[in-house]
């Protein structure tokens, strides 16, 4: 069934996002999807790039649109692709971030669960609108979508369009984050990437002539990580955010919970998050809490909240020695300046968000994460980094960034 | 005094925003400016244009940048321009929106004061960081900035760069809103507009050869009003927002204040907003309150909040007759469907945000709002609409849009 | 039949131009189409806009691509459109400029035939590759294409996609000329225009909600005419070009033909252009001739050629009185400065390239040139200018530009 | 002295090109500069990328504009830069391509002199307008400009802005060629590159924080070489062009010169090019000659000319073995098909246009071609490839492309 009239969203990245299937339209209008309008895609990056204020909602529409374009291209070229999964992968692309918490990376430590788990839960829980829409469409649809997002679905091809080395998620966010932040990196030729992708032997491969197009995409990622995602100032805001959450949790644990501003936060600190309270969490719940707490009785919490809201961030030194001597030295100086190092001194290791731009942590050239090029003439598959010197170079580069953050009035080591 | 090293912000609209003066840098870092990061530039437009999620903060930086480019061009061309006011107008451009409340137009009815008044108050109040930075720069600076923004400053030329027919505010927001929403309207040649502007006889005029460039700018405005600012779906969200605020105020007035989520909201409903509580208001305070209230005891408030958050908006009919018969008819139907028309039926008149794209409400061809073109050869000033048929056309067009909004399950008239 | 693999051209305007039909591919590779690579789209505009150096070849590909997108959209939406003419209109869009001479407007006066006539001749002449490719595709195809381009084809709908108020020709050249010259006008939302177009009762109409989108397109045209197509400096180069051709023809007529550099030029001046010599004409034939003639024995021809090549253009006065007094005055001054007014004084009337941006010379609101909007709800067609003040304004504006051109060292009137 | 009013050119790459100095304005208006309007920047690339039809004239304006922006930035930041050479380097940037012949690489073999030599000659020859304008400006100016372009000027800093690892020439052409061809590569952040460049110890270095910005620029070059400059189809057109010139020269040498269409061509084949005839050469002279010769008596010349004009190009095999066996085999097949291998079989080695994207042929890490980064904190210079894995990778990659070209109807090896 198709919508009477195709719906469109105007979008700065793709021009238009086209919706002709009622299932997609109904999913977009669920409250769980609408919640993503209130979660910023780039977390704390806005403190560095004022333009980077876009939400996970517009990114999710973008991922859907990229999936739609890919499966349409597969159909047009009559590739060996099971078109009966088209709607499934489009829905999965749309919903892939449904479980994100506000400032996910920081909050997950407090929640104790990764957002991927929540994505599956939300899709499978009969109380959510997302589940109801999927279940009403066809039996098993919710389970299939959850399996695609959870990478447990037997159709590996379908999985890899949503989560793979060349997936719709990355294809959208690299371009979107680049356009919104205004940086001149992160651009590549999406139309041509889609044209050189094809299903082959159960995986998505790339036509040999598309080598340089895919190189450009992988290098876009390299640049975006360095210029945007790893930016030291944005990381400083994240360090403070984590300190706020730690302090609030510590206070709650000590029976001195900060002023209640939203039931989901209370539930969070008490470790009894339900589906309903999880789905009520968004950026505005955290911001409003910090806004109230900046005037609250606990001096540490108030100060950290004010720093976060007013962008009075910590400074840092790059690549401090890994032994504990520098940390101890700085802990002394932080204390001497009147701060508690527990909240005012932090090592930030991008090891924790480590990425080698190409193969992922495993570095597995045979596994799912490697990209293969298909040469029609010789009928051969070749792993990408063996054909491209720059990709081999960035695949080998291990980026274990470490930075030590502390207040500006503390003398640097 | 100049900063040791020029600071820059990357910006999708202007490429870069350049800051070389410490006063500007310090103003950007005040908490009142940082608050604007949490107020969306386009209010409820994001419900129609998912990309339109940018804040008043990035717009304010943009206005500053446009002013900077204009005064630099005036200096480079040695026009008759008092360069000693350069810093004053750059600071005024940066701060011109400092008094904005979240969703200003809706909130101003509850607050009972326009945001322009708050802008002046914030700049003049010794308790704000903005005031302190300005006062520390030089005596009278805060007063001068407030006078520029309040249009009472004796230097009319300086005033008109910030608030005039061809001011930095509009030059930035038309381009910015166009780029972020992704629409293909609202573009014009900013570099050339700046090149054809010049001070002449106490006002900003435009070189005769710039006629078509300025036409394009005024038509950009025409298109943006129709395609973005007046969009019926965005207006529907605003209608619901106003209903929420009305209901909350009514409840508070009746001693049944909804759950307290932020002290500034309580102060707002009790009519005792202080400078501190006003400056704590932002979008997230409202969103968090609606988020809590959607589960609260009052059914009307809860339903309206859910509608707003989940984008279950009202439908509408265009241009209903102006007599009261249709309203009465629909009030009956709304009631019959189980809704209170006081909150569930609204006439939205863009007459209240009426704009004639060119001359403003007054339509005064002699006054401040008219644009004059300067012909070097004949040494004559000519009012713009007498030289341009399309501008004359849109200047004469009176756009008094009226729409009647109500829930989707109520039969339309 | 479809090509084994879709061919693509990279294009700065449309991103990619997609060719999947062998007929289109074969037509592109004919020598008559390849000739268009050597004819600039914008004639003499490059003297004002250095970037405007693109050819009729890339424009022709663009027109084909726009037709392709339109008929695809018609098919996707199952509109009442005879899809059996798809290939016919795509081929016609591609070939619509096939008969263009170099600097058509100037050369047509010498040739004595309009390029439209040559387009039909080339398509119908069995000696051309274009004809052979069409005839080999199917009997009658060449005749059908010629009839579409000559506007005599019975399928008016098909004709109007190639030559109408909202045709693929204009949709491409406005955007293309805008992008290559680098001006900030001429942009509109092509994807949305295609989405609001539909066949209705034998003509292409526009959905009512597309009003502002089509307004933007018509205003783009208004701006491009003023800023690019009517530019006085480009017109000056055209005035000199016409003087060169007049002088060369006069010399040839007097038995003093300038040095022979190409057989087609000789044929041209002797009034015996054959199909083969017409198809050998291109910009480079003229430029090379001027290049040689600048060193030839005739002083007038040599001087005019040098002026054209070295961009030593005539100056002008705007809107001279229409009586002959000024012309006589200036003829005297031109003569006094040592020039022959026959070649060194010219009235340029854009009356001859007159355009009212909307209705064409006829101004016929009922005829083919008017644009109608279709309102689904009321099932009514309404003529566009009655719904849009700015379009009414530019439709009424009669632009009869007159300029008087002469050498810079002649005193202006 | 400055122009009364700044002149501007609209430009798709830089937005505007600003000219405020009369020397620059006068140089632009010389006939030698205007000639560059008739020489395509990308030679035969238009056969692959229809949009790549821009001229060396607009590129030259672009190089001037980039130099202007760089020296302005140096002045604004009060770097250690001799501002008295500003005009000299701006003029040199503008004139750096003044000696280019049409299709330089192909023609230089016939002419026997590189275009760089002609650039210096044109600037120093008293008969040229370029020389006269420079000499009129100040004694020695012409010699200085020639020395900058010839890299013999003692001010190495000034030389390196025009010809260096990070020079205005490359900064313009990478962006320009990318925009006009429409490819999505070749973009980088020009504004930021200019901001991180600075003179240091007699060379241009880059601020340490600009590492990734410069990486993006070098990788842009890598992509442009592979996707545009080395494209096999464009190279095929160049192979045919060389064959035409060889055949014409052979015929002329044998007393059978093809029909005379321009005195400069005759002079070229007779090896007696004067300054005047060199300066009369442009693309149109060659195209017109080929246009005439395609109907001439020599079958080989006529066929080759028709192939070039009608885009009936040779096919190729990639990377043939380097021993002579394959060549001999194919020579036999070419002969068997009725072609003369002297003109119809060619090895194209991009070794001849070899580029390692970073260091040039010398690979000299200490020399002029290496790029150094300046770390303010440590006061140290570090060679770039030691800081960047991807740059090290492409700097090491030796790209010695070899292709064997022959007519399509000859069986491939």
Q: Do residues D144 and D91 make contact, with C-beta atoms less than 8 angstroms apart?
A: no
Q: What residues contact B404, with CB distance under 8 A and at least 6 apart? A: B316, B317, B320, B326, B327, B330, B345, B346, B347, B348, B413
Do B205 and B261 belong together in one domain? no
Chain A: residue whose CA lies nearest to B291: A280
Do C169 and C24 belong together in one domain? yes
d(CA D250, CA D241) in angstroms, rounded, equals 14
Which residue is it, tokens 């977390």? A43
The answer to whether the Cβ–Cβ distance between C77 and A6 falls below 8 Å is: yes
d(CA B134, CA B148) in angstroms, rounded, equals 14
**Token pair belonging to D100:** 């280019």
pLDDT of residue B119: 96
Between helix A104-111 and helix A232-253 the angle, nearest 10°, is 20
pLDDT of residue D362: 44
Asked whether the predicted pLDDT for residue A398 surpasses 60, the reply is: no
Assigned domain for D74 exists: yes
d(CA A278, CA A114) in angstroms, rounded, equals 12
The answer to whether the Cβ–Cβ distance between B288 and A284 falls below 8 Å is: yes
Do C225 and C246 belong together in one domain? no
Do A222 and A249 belong together in one domain? no
Q: Do residues C329 and C345 make contact, with C-beta atoms less than 8 angstroms apart?
A: no
Spatial CA neighbour of A10 closest among A54, A56, A60, A62: A62
Asked whether the predicted pLDDT for residue C365 surpasses 60, the reply is: no
pLDDT of residue D373: 93
Nearest to D219 among A189, A219, A227 (CB): A219
Least confident among B62-71, B116-125, B399-408, C169-178? B399-408
Q: Do residues D246 and D346 make contact, with C-beta atoms less than 8 angstroms apart?
A: no
The answer to whether the Cβ–Cβ distance between D50 and C292 falls below 8 Å is: no
Q: Percent of chain A, pLDDT > 70?
A: 93
pLDDT of residue C347: 92
Q: What residues contact C283, with CB distance under 8 A and at least 6 apart? A: C38, C39, C40, C102, C103, D284
The predicted model gives B49-55 an average pLDDT of 96
First to last CA, chain D: 66
Q: Do residues D253 and D266 make contact, with C-beta atoms less than 8 angstroms apart?
A: no
Q: Do residues B121 and B275 make contact, with C-beta atoms less than 8 angstroms apart?
A: yes
Least confident among B1-5, B78-82, B193-197, C26-30? B1-5
Q: Is A187 on the interface with C (CB under 8 A)?
A: no
The answer to whether the Cβ–Cβ distance between C192 and B212 falls below 8 Å is: no
Q: What residues contact A412, with CB distance under 8 A and at least 6 apart? A: A315, A317
pLDDT of residue D397: 57
The predicted model gives A234-250 an average pLDDT of 96
CA distance D40 to chain C (A): 10
Assigned domain for B151 exists: yes
Assigned domain for D300 exists: no
The answer to whether the Cβ–Cβ distance between D195 and B8 falls below 8 Å is: yes
d(CA C176, CA C170) in angstroms, rounded, equals 10
d(CA C105, CA C352) in angstroms, rounded, equals 10
Spatial CA neighbour of C360 closest among C351, C369, C368, C352: C369
ipTM rounded to 2 decimals: 0.94
The predicted model gives C135-140 an average pLDDT of 97
Asked whether the predicted pLDDT for residue C166 surpasses 70, the reply is: yes
Which residue is it, tokens 């109500």? B406
Q: Could you read off the pLDDT of D366-394 as tens digits, one per residue?
A: 456 678 899 988 899 998 888 888 888 88
DSSP string, D133-156: HHHHH-TTHHHHHHHHHTT--S-H
Q: In A, which residues are within 8 Å of D216 by CB distance?
A: 184-185, 223
CA distance B390 to chain C (A): 5
Assigned domain for A272 exists: yes
d(CA B47, CA B240) in angstroms, rounded, equals 12
Do B253 and B193 belong together in one domain? no
DSSP string, C236-285: HHHHHHHHHHHHHHHHHHTT-------HHHHHHHTT---HHHHTT--HHH
Chain B: residue whose CA lies nearest to C225: B212
Chain A: residue whose CA lies nearest to D228: A212
d(CA D35, CA D45) in angstroms, rounded, equals 20
Least confident among A60-64, B362-366, C381-385, D341-345? B362-366
The answer to whether the Cβ–Cβ distance between B263 and A53 falls below 8 Å is: no
D104: left (phi over 0), alpha (psi -120 to 50) or beta: alpha
Assigned domain for B408 exists: no
Asked whether the predicted pLDDT for residue A354 surpasses 50, the reply is: no
Asked whether the predicted pLDDT for residue C397 surpasses 80, the reply is: no
Q: Is B332 on the interface with D (CB under 8 A)?
A: no
* Other Cβ atoms closer than 10 A to B99: 22
Domain boundary among B278, B313, B348: B313
Do B200 and B300 belong together in one domain? no
The predicted model gives C320-332 an average pLDDT of 89
pLDDT of residue A24: 98
Q: Is C179 on the interface with D (CB under 8 A)?
A: yes
Q: Do residues A207 and A373 make contact, with C-beta atoms less than 8 angstroms apart?
A: yes
Q: In D, which residues are within 8 Å of B192 by CB distance?
A: 16
d(CA B220, CA B184) in angstroms, rounded, equals 10
Confidence of residue A225 (pLDDT cuts 50, 70, 90): confident
Asked whether the predicted pLDDT for residue D266 surpasses 60, the reply is: yes
The predicted model gives A247-251 an average pLDDT of 95
Q: How many domains does chain C have?
A: 2
d(CA B241, CA B308) in angstroms, rounded, equals 7
Confidence of residue D112 (pLDDT cuts 50, 70, 90): confident
Q: Is C215 on the interface with B (CB under 8 A)?
A: yes
Count of A–B CB contacts within 8 Å? 124
Task: State the residue range of the domain holding B83.
Answer: 7-230
Assigned domain for C81 exists: yes
Mean pLDDT of chain A: 90
Assigned domain for A408 exists: no
Do C297 and C217 belong together in one domain? no
DSSP state of C84: G
The answer to whether the Cβ–Cβ distance between C182 and D309 falls below 8 Å is: no
d(CA C111, CA C114) in angstroms, rounded, equals 8
Q: Do residues A194 and A73 make contact, with C-beta atoms less than 8 angstroms apart?
A: yes
Indicate which CATH number applies to the domain containing B157. 1.10.3210.10
Q: In B, which residues are within 8 Å of A282 by CB distance?
A: 287, 291
Nearest to A16 among C16, C77, C191 (CB): C191
Highest mean pLDDT among B23-37, B212-226, C113-127, C341-355: B23-37
Chain D: residue whose CA lies nearest to C279: D291
Nearest to D390 among A192, A227, A394 (CB): A394
Q: Could you read off the pLDDT of B321-332 as tens digits, one per residue?
A: 877 899 999 999
Let me know the angle formed at the C-alpha of C185 by C182 and C186, rounded to the nearest 5 degrees. Answer: 100
**Across-strand partners of A10?**
A16
Indicate which CATH number applies to the domain containing A241. 1.20.1250.30
d(CA C198, CA C177) in angstroms, rounded, equals 26
Least confident among D198-212, D245-259, D332-346? D198-212
Spatial CA neighbour of B12 closest among A304, A50, D26, D229: A50
Q: What residues contact A252, with CB distance under 8 A and at least 6 apart? A: A258, A269, A270
Do A112 and A212 belong together in one domain? yes
pLDDT of residue C33: 98
CA distance C50 to chain D (A): 6
Q: Which of the other chains make 3 or more beta carbon contacts under 8 angstroms with chain A?
A: B, C, D
Q: Could you read off the pLDDT of A180-197 as tens digits, one per residue?
A: 999 988 789 999 999 999
**Across-strand partners of B347?**
B404
Nearest to C15 among A6, A77, A191 (CB): A191
Count of A–C CB contacts within 8 Å? 10
pLDDT of residue A115: 85
The answer to whether the Cβ–Cβ distance between D50 and C37 falls below 8 Å is: yes
Spatial CA neighbour of A54 closest among B107, C191, B292, B58: B58
Q: Do residues D393 and A393 make contact, with C-beta atoms less than 8 angstroms apart?
A: yes
pLDDT of residue D327: 93
Residues constituting chain B: 413
pLDDT of residue C394: 80
Chain D: residue whose CA lies nearest to C260: D261
State how far Cα B254 lies from the chain centre.
33
d(CA C319, CA C399) in angstroms, rounded, equals 11
Indicate the helix (H) or strand (E) that contains B346: strand B346-349
Do A42 and A71 belong together in one domain? yes
Q: What residues contact C357, with CB distance under 8 A and at least 6 apart? A: C218, C221, C222, C225, C394, C395, C397
Spatial CA neighbour of C406 closest among C350, C330, C349: C330
CA distance C165 to chain B (A): 19
Nearest to B38 among A51, A58, A287 (CB): A287
Alpha helices (H) in C262-388, listed in sequence order: 263-269, 275-278, 283-293, 299-310, 325-336, 341-344
Q: Is D97 on the interface with A (CB under 8 A)?
A: no
Confidence of residue B202 (pLDDT cuts 50, 70, 90): confident
Give the CB-side neighbour count of residue B150, counting CA atoms within 13 A.
18
Confidence of residue D398 (pLDDT cuts 50, 70, 90): low
Domain boundary among C176, C199, C230: C230
**Token pair belonging to C257:** 């033909």
Indicate the helix (H) or strand (E) that contains D234: helix D232-253
pLDDT of residue B250: 95
**β A203-207/A197-200 pair status:** antiparallel
Assigned domain for A349 exists: no
Which SS3 state, helix, strand or coil, does residue C328 take? Answer: helix
Asked whether the predicted pLDDT for residue C43 surpasses 90, the reply is: yes
Count of B–C CB contacts within 8 Å? 50
Do A154 and A252 belong together in one domain? no
Q: Could you read off the pLDDT of C207-241 as tens digits, one per residue?
A: 999 999 999 998 998 889 888 988 999 999 999 99
Q: Which of the other chains make 3 or more beta carbon contacts under 8 angstroms with chain C?
A: A, B, D
The dihedrals phi and psi of A234, each to the nearest 5 degrees, come to -65, -40
Do A142 and A242 belong together in one domain? no
d(CA D75, CA D14) in angstroms, rounded, equals 20
Q: Is D393 on the interface with B (CB under 8 A)?
A: no
The predicted model gives A90-112 an average pLDDT of 90
Q: Could you read off the pLDDT of B270-314 as tens digits, one per residue?
A: 888 999 999 999 999 999 999 999 999 999 999 999 999 999 999
Q: In B, which residues are within 8 Å of D8 by CB distance?
A: 195
The predicted model gives C319-330 an average pLDDT of 86
Asked whether the predicted pLDDT for residue D211 surpasses 60, the reply is: yes
Mean pLDDT of chain B: 90
Q: In D, which residues are within 8 Å of A189 by CB distance?
A: 183-185
CA distance B352 to chain C (A): 22
DSSP state of C410: S
**Rg of the Cα atoms in chain A:** 23
Spatial CA neighbour of B61 closest among B131, B103, B114, B12: B12
Q: Could you read off the pLDDT of C247-301 as tens digits, one per residue?
A: 999 999 999 999 999 999 999 998 889 999 999 999 999 999 999 999 999 999 9
Q: Is D3 on the interface with B (CB under 8 A)?
A: no
d(CA C396, CA C383) in angstroms, rounded, equals 14
Chain D: residue whose CA lies nearest to A183: D189
Q: Is B77 on the interface with D (CB under 8 A)?
A: yes
Domain boundary among B211, B230, B249: B230
Q: Do residues A122 and A130 make contact, with C-beta atoms less than 8 angstroms apart?
A: yes
Do A39 and A120 belong together in one domain? yes
pTM summary value: 0.94
Q: What residues contact D142, with CB distance under 8 A and at least 6 apart? A: D123, D124, D130, D131, D134, D135
D107, D113, D118 from D125: Cα distances, Å:
22, 17, 10
Q: Do residues C26 and D310 make contact, with C-beta atoms less than 8 angstroms apart?
A: no
């Amino acid at each position: 069934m198709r919508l009477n009239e195709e719906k469109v969203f105007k979008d700065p990245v793709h021009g238009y996002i086209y919706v002709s299937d009622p299932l997609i339209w109904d999913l977009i209008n669920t409250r769980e999807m609408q919640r993503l309008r209130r979660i910023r895609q780039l977390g704390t990056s806005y403190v560095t790039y004022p333009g980077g204020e876009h939400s996970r909602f517009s990114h999710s529409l973008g991922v859907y649109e990229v999936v739609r374009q890919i499966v349409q291209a597969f159909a047009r070229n009559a590739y060996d692709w099971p078109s009966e999964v088209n709607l499934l992968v489009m829905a999965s692309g749309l919903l892939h971030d449904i479980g994100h918490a506000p400032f996910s990376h920081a909050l997950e430590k407090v929640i104790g669960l990764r957002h991927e788990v929540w994505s599956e839960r939300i899709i499978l829980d009969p109380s959510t609108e997302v589940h109801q829409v999927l279940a009403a469409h066809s039996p098993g649809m919710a389970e299939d979508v959850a399996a695609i997002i959870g990478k447990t679905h037997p159709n590996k091809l379908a999985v890899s369009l949503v989560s793979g080395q060349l997936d719709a998620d990355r294809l959208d966010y690299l371009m979107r984050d680049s356009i919104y932040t205004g940086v001149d990196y992160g651009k590549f030729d999406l139309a041509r990437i889609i044209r050189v992708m094809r299903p082959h032997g159960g995986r998505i491969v790339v036509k040999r002539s598309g080598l340089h197009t895919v190189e450009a995409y992988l290098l876009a990622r390299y640049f975006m990580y360095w210029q945007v995602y790893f930016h030291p100032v944005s990381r400083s805001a994240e360090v403070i955010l984590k300190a706020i959450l730690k302090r609030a949790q510590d206070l709650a644990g000590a029976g001195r919970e900060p002023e209640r501003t939203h039931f989901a936060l209370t539930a969070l600190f008490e470790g009894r998050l339900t589906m309903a309270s999880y789905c009520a969490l968004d950026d505005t719940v955290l911001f409003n809490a910090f806004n109230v707490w900046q005037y609250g009785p606990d001096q540490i919490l108030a100060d950290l909240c004010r720093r976060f809201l007013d962008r009075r961030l910590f400074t840092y030194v790059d690549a401090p020695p890994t032994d504990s001597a520098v940390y101890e030295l700085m802990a002394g100086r932080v204390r001497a300046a009147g701060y508690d190092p527990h909240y005012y001194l932090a090592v930030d290791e991008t090891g924790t968000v480590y990425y080698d731009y190409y193969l992922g942590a495993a570095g597995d050239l045979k596994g799912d994460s490697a990209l293969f090029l298909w040469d029609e003439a010789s009928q051969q598959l070749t792993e990408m980094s063996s054909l491209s010197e720059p990709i081999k170079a960035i695949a080998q580069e291990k980026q274990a960034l470490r930075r030590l953050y502390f207040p500006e009035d503390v003398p640097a080591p």
